[in-house]
Structure 1
Amino acid sequence: MDKRVGRLRHLSHWDAEDVVAWESGGKTIARRNLFWSVVIVHLGYSIWALWPVMALFMPKDVYGFSAGDKLLLGMTATLVGACLRPAYAIATAIFGGRTLAIFSALMLLIPTVGAMVLLAHPGLPLWPYLVCAALTGMGGGNFAASASNANSFYPHRLKGVALGIAGGIGNLGVPAIQIVGLIVIATAGDGRPYWVCGLYLVLLITAGVGAAVFMNNVAQHRVELGRLRSVLAAVAATRDTWVLALLYVGSYGSFIGFAFAFAQILQTSFIAGGQSVSQAALHAAELAFIGPLLGALARVYGGRLADRIGGGRVTLMVFVGMALAAGLLIGVASAEDPHAGPVSDSTMAGYVACLIALFVFSGLGNGSVYKMIPSVFQTAGRGLDMDETERAQWARLISGIVIGVVAGVGTLGGVGINLALRQSFVGTGTMTPAFWIFMSCYVAAAALTWIRYIRRPLGALADGNAAGAG
């Protein structure tokens, strides 16, 4: 491949499976597109998680919002992000990865400026905060565009790594804004958290310019509306679309749900441990980034591991681990009654350790489930009456759309996590009862993975690695 082609904003042809073209310059183009996609999805995650972070520094006597109100802000952002993900994946197929990357970065300037205004003027009612939280959900939609772009530019043998990097570094946006929030508040004071938004305005503008200059649209990756309708019909009619979406509900839904609620869980736990509200908020902010950070890093390794031993195997092990971690958390949390007085430090340490284990397992599962998507549809394409090139293009196109659908449905799991935690806290004063539901869901997801992608015979699908999709 002529390296000069990589400098063009619009490429007429791309064949990631052509090893000669890949080594002669194709991998450089793919890496550059992946880099800027990752930068934008990372910033998107940060803006998506903006309100759960800012909520720690919005005292009730100043802003007037309860813990339930603050959880509602996170749920609103999560729900909107879930709904936008399929739309972003489809828009990438219509307009191209470069176009969507620029749009994604610049549109996030709107809720970022809005958050600055709201944080600087406390005393307003809840609804403008909810509107702004809904707009931050556009940051959640960014991921579907980034993942679809990575899926298009990378060969099948490297898709697990590419998707793991896109998701893992993107997920790092959640702990990143938590750390940035601590640094800004430590230097500017806890009365001016809106300076966090000011920093992200600069970063978003830089990312938008970088995408415009360095990214590419590929003509063959774009789809006419007439053909798109048939592709969407095929996506909806394929059983594995919805099976993979359910698995992603368990893995990614847990990650994003716990990520948005972790700070509030920690804060209520520290209060139960006898700390004042201000002390609990500070200590929660100091620890809240650890779980999302480890989960995001685990996602990268989950993709690599799935490339080596199969996405189905890794996903099964993940859900078994998550069920065990949830069971341990229930046992630890039930050892002492938080209503009877301050709980011990050992109980709190065990509780937090179990939550962090859930983050790590869910991160591994995010990488392995996403590796399964192109693998499953590459296998399904073998039965189509097409030549090898047409089958490869069909698998790339349909898996790119499925990535968005799976991402959107999976994110709804985060909404469910937050709803269950909120209702559990409102009804009982603790969030522990919700984990009984989560543990049951993890057991069901493990069984579904075994039945559909591990057990021999596999039924409708065979795995390229013989024993598990991926």
Structure 2
Amino acid sequence: MTVDRTAESGAGTPPETDAEPWHGSVATSADAQPGSTRTADAAALEFRSGRWIAGWDAENKEQWESKGRSIAKRNLNWSIFAEFLGFVVWQLWSIVVVQLPAAGFTFTTSEIFWLISMPSLVGATLRIPYTFMVPRFGGRNWTIVSALLLLIPSIGLAMCVSNPETPFGVMLLVAALAGFGGGNFASSMANITFFYPAREKGWALGLNAAGGNLGAAVAQLAVPIAITLLAAGTVNLPVAGLMWVPFILLAAFGAWKYMDNLTSAKGDIAGSVAALKEPHLWIMAFLYIGTFGSFIGFAGVFPKLIKDYFPDFSSIAVGTVALSLAFMGPLVGSLARPFGGRMADRMGGARMTVATFAAMATITLVMIWTLPLKNFWLFLALFLMLFTASGFGNGATYRMIPIIFATSSRAAKAGASSVHTAKLASASLGLVSAIGAYGGFVIPQVLNASNSASGSYTPAFYGFVGAYVVMLLVCWAFYIRPAKRNAMGHV
């Protein structure tokens, strides 16, 4: 029997038990005979204890249309919900820090930026081991564990911000634990890629990623409202963490009740090691720092930038609650991501990525030059355009990776099979997502350094413009210029 290896990454082997099936049907004795046909064998699904499914082959159309699609959709829905909460927790400190002075905390600007950037540093690092957890423990099992881990930073935040005497070191440690939410992206994407056939994998992964990214927007919308609701003109910061506890428990229960593990989700550490030797992995990781790194980095600092540049608009009173418009940035960036992938399918991912960096550099320059006008609505509009461009870029760069490894990698040029290059591409997707997420740490720290050295964020923004121009040139030099010279088309 053949199984889908399009996106294998990780290590270990799930249990192969002979326990009684827990639902559905099992392979017939005829299916189990050595002489049975591939179609009959591939179409048979065996449901084992612990919600393990054996015989999964999403590329087999009979199996996919009869049972596979509904199973995959159910797992995708709960995966999106769990990943959504991961992004929520990942972004909590970026929202809370702007409210710390009102709660009696007296941290410096540098300390505030460390609280913003530490979750991204830890989350990006965790994405690497999280990629290997699904093949080792099972997608359903790891979703339960990774969801429950979100309780630690959520409750920890509530405890820290309830006492203005909490030492900065303790606050920084708890902020670092919010990185659990950032790691969820890698395991969630690795899990879903095993469930879908190649022809539907792009859209499924796009929905999974966009649904997760929306967590940043929802957190920035809901938290300011929740901490001021019934707070009588002050803020109730512990609510920022405690309000998500019921949803986290629901996600863990839903994963336990409705998700599945696949015995076919095999690990491939060798594939990850081989991918690290491919120059294209590092090129794409560099480009992804510019797209996703900008998205998650600016999502983290946007509330503070609004407060520093336009304090009167940091929170807008709506009745008895406060509303922050910072949520609009991550919202438009998240919604743009799947459409960036679709547009890349039409015009080429490299062209789309070059256009993205050109747009991001231009928008950032206009934002710098119009800051003296002190017009909040113009500032907001330009930042929303910047978030939108980064979202399109996220979809475009992710779309490029499988094509590059299938056509331009060292393995492909050496005549490797499509199965092998697909494994390399899958491993690269997880590694690129991890490296790109470090942008969430770099952007706040560059802004912090700029402010400490010059008292202004403007030098940092000029630095970002320069980085976008360099990334544009790199993408053009490696993926557009050779295509024109060799008449091989665009990736």
- Could you tell me the TM-score, scaled by structure 2's length? 0.83
* Residue 82 of structure 1, CA deviation: 0.9
Work out which of the residue numbers 221, 227, 241 in structure 2 matches 1:197: 241
Counterpart AA for 2:244: Y
* Counterpart mapping for 1:171-320 below 5 A: 171-189=213-231, 190-223=234-267, 228=269, 230-271=270-311, 275=312, 280-282=314-316, 286-320=324-358
Tell me the SS of whatever aligns to 1:220.
Answer: coil
Work out which of the residue numbers 324, 342, 365 in structure 2 matches 1:327: 365
Match of 1:442 in 2: 468
Counterpart AA for 2:402: P
Question: 1:327/1:386 Cα in 2 relative to 1: closer, same or farther (>3 Å)?
Answer: closer
Match of 1:85 in 2: 127
Tell me the SS of whatever aligns to 2:58.
Answer: coil
* Residue 9 of structure 1, CA deviation: 1.9
Matched, 1:468 2:480: no
Question: 1:17/1:129 Cα in 2 relative to 1: closer, same or farther (>3 Å)?
Answer: same
Deviations 1:351-407 (A, max 9, x none): 3222221111001111111122233334457667676xxx43x44543332222111
Q: Aligned partners of 1:121 and 1:259: how far apart in 2?
A: 26
Q: Aligned partners of 1:85 and 1:221: how far apart in 2?
A: 18
Match of 1:44 in 2: 86
Match of 2:28 in 1: none
Matched, 1:10 2:10: no
Deviations 1:430-460 (A, max 9, x none): 212211111111111111112222223489x
Work out which of the residue numbers 124, 132, 145 in structure 1 matches 2:187: 145
Q: Is the 8 A contact 1:299 1:363 kept in 2?
A: yes
Q: Is the 8 A contact 2:339 2:392 kept in 1?
A: yes
Identify the range of structure 1 (80-89 vs 212-221) with the bigger mean alpha-carbon deviation.
Answer: 212-221
Work out which of the residue numbers 423, 428, 446 in structure 2 matches 1:420: 446
Question: 1:281/1:426 Cα in 2 relative to 1: closer, same or farther (>3 Å)?
Answer: farther
* Residue 425 of structure 1, CA deviation: 2.0
Tell me the SS of whatever aligns to 2:200.
Answer: helix
Deviations 1:87-107 (A, max 9, x none): 111222333322221111011
Q: Aligned partners of 1:192 and 1:200: how far apart in 2?
A: 15
Counterpart AA for 2:248: L
Tell me the SS of whatever aligns to 2:179.
Answer: helix
Q: Aligned partners of 2:198 and 2:132: how far apart in 1?
A: 21
Matched, 1:410 2:452: no
Match of 2:455 in 1: 429
Matched, 1:355 2:374: no
Match of 1:452 in 2: 478
Q: Aligned partners of 2:200 and 2:294: how far apart in 1?
A: 26
Q: Is the 8 A contact 2:337 2:392 kept in 1?
A: yes
Counterpart AA for 2:355: M
Match of 2:31 in 1: none
Q: Is the 8 A contact 1:67 1:264 kept in 2?
A: no
Gaps of 5+ in 2: 1-42
Q: Aligned partners of 2:344 and 2:51: how far apart in 1?
A: 33
Tell me the SS of whatever aligns to 1:424.
Answer: helix
Match of 2:101 in 1: 59
Work out which of the residue numbers 139, 151, 162 in structure 1 matches 2:204: 162
Match of 1:339 in 2: none
Indicate the percent of aligned positions where both proteins have the same amino acid.
Answer: 35
* Residue 204 of structure 1, CA deviation: 0.7
Q: Is the 8 A contact 2:336 2:392 kept in 1?
A: yes
Identify the range of structure 1 (169-178 vs 369-378) with the bigger mean alpha-carbon deviation.
Answer: 369-378
Counterpart AA for 2:362: L
* Residue 286 of structure 1, CA deviation: 1.7
Q: Is the 8 A contact 1:323 1:443 kept in 2?
A: yes
Counterpart AA for 1:409: I
Q: Is the 8 A contact 1:90 1:404 kept in 2?
A: no
Gaps of 5+ in 1: 337-342
Q: Is the 8 A contact 1:44 1:138 kept in 2?
A: yes
Name the larger-Rg structure: 2
Q: Is the 8 A contact 1:160 1:368 kept in 2?
A: no
Question: 1:32/1:367 Cα in 2 relative to 1: closer, same or farther (>3 Å)?
Answer: same
Q: Aligned partners of 2:316 and 2:174: how far apart in 1?
A: 24
Q: Aligned partners of 2:389 and 2:89: how far apart in 1?
A: 24
Q: Is the 8 A contact 2:228 2:236 kept in 1?
A: no
Question: 1:90/1:4 Cα in 2 relative to 1: closer, same or farther (>3 Å)?
Answer: closer
Tell me the SS of whatever aligns to 2:243.
Answer: helix
Deviations 1:129-173 (A, max 9, x none): 100010000100100111122322222233332222111111111
Q: Is the 8 A contact 1:156 1:374 kept in 2?
A: no
Q: Aligned partners of 2:345 and 2:257: how far apart in 1?
A: 32
Q: Aligned partners of 1:166 and 1:212: how far apart in 2?
A: 19
Question: 1:451/1:377 Cα in 2 relative to 1: closer, same or farther (>3 Å)?
Answer: same
Q: Aligned partners of 2:340 and 2:111: how far apart in 1?
A: 34
Q: Is the 8 A contact 1:151 1:396 kept in 2?
A: no
Match of 1:95 in 2: 137
* Residue 14 of structure 1, CA deviation: 2.8
Question: 1:366/1:409 Cα in 2 relative to 1: closer, same or farther (>3 Å)?
Answer: same
Q: Aligned partners of 1:141 and 1:378: how far apart in 2?
A: 27
* Residue 61 of structure 1, CA deviation: 6.9
Match of 1:340 in 2: none
* Residue 176 of structure 1, CA deviation: 0.7
- Could you tell me the TM-score, scaled by structure 1's length? 0.87
Structural RMSD (CA): 2.5
Match of 2:26 in 1: none
Match of 1:375 in 2: 403
Question: 1:83/1:55 Cα in 2 relative to 1: closer, same or farther (>3 Å)?
Answer: same
Tell me the SS of whatever aligns to 1:188.
Answer: coil
Work out which of the residue numbers 129, 153, 175 in structure 2 matches 1:111: 153
Deviations 1:61-89 (A, max 9, x none): 71122333222101111100111111111
Deviations 1:283-311 (A, max 9, x none): 89521101111101111211222334332
Tell me the SS of whatever aligns to 1:409.
Answer: helix
> Comparing both structures, which one devotes a greater share of its residues to helix?
1
Question: 1:135/1:192 Cα in 2 relative to 1: closer, same or farther (>3 Å)?
Answer: same
Matched, 1:34 2:76: yes
